[in-house]
Structure 1
Amino acid sequence: MVVAAALVSCTQASSGGGPGADVPSASADPAADLDRSAESAGGAGGAENADRAEREAGEAEETAVPSPAPALVRDAFATLQATLDDTCTPGAGDCAYFLGRVTRELAELDEAMRADDKGPGHFKQPLADMKVLFDKLGDDRSEAHLEKYFSEIVGTRDGINAWMQDHPDDYR
């Protein structure tokens, strides 16, 4: 379909018909521009024009603004938010997955905030809250140990969610 649309566009422009026929069309896709340039380059000097069009397309790609990489804080916060409606009952044997997941999500968010361009100073409060939690938890991630700190884990998650809601630029 793209080729057909390009052919119609080229036909209208070369025949003088169609809206904006006197205005050269520019595409956001340098490869499409290259194809159109190569198509219109037929006849004498066609290879030369095609080479020039290819060079110009390459230059356009080099000067294009790169799309931003996924925002680590936004992504880590989104996975933490996915736990907001989940819970478990300490002592019932159903907390291993839930508390382990929330703890992992908090650790990933902590890492993302520390690596963010805004710097850890921007995330001072949530990083401090997570440090307090991680200091209490230590390295023990057993279900019994995590259940012992159920309120602290869920409270830290909820507190960070509230903080992030007040800082929408950090996750939108």
Structure 2
Amino acid sequence: MVWVLQNIFKQQVPPLAGLDISTTAVRLLALDVTSKGYRIQSCAQVRLAPGAVSEGSVADPEAVAQAVSDVVRRSGSKRRNVALAVPGAQIISRQIGMPIEFTDADIEQQITLESDQYIPYPLNDVYFDFVVVGPNARNPQTSDVLLIVARNEVVDRRLEALV
């Protein structure tokens, strides 16, 4: 069964920290919402050992896990919910059209049924999520939907470093 990402575009998300794992460093940023906008609650960066991340893929989960632990400790953040960045080169994003009357459940079902049209990998090998962007400018009976797809192995290797 496909694990659909937490529909981060749709839900009210509890306070979270953004975590970026690049080839050279792990970075954490937590923002607070204030009446004037956003304020940095905490941030930190820890350099990675050479080769821990190679070409955007986690090559040494233990080294990355240690860097994640270090960056959390250094930042002082108490947040336990994290938005984990995935490199843009390792995701697929497509804008697709769906009937305007479709609910989120209908859209998810349609994407699943027609996955071979949108996703160049077997459905069991990917995580996906989507957000309804709005009505199509040329066809008011159609909604524009942004579909985001990432291979399981890309996401799972990053998640290994968090556990």
User: Same fold, TM exceeding 0.5?
Assistant: no
Q: TM-score normalized by structure 1?
A: 0.25
The higher-RCO structure (CA 8 Å, 6+ apart) is 2
* Structure whose residues are more often helix by fraction: 1
* Structure whose residues are more often strand by fraction: 2
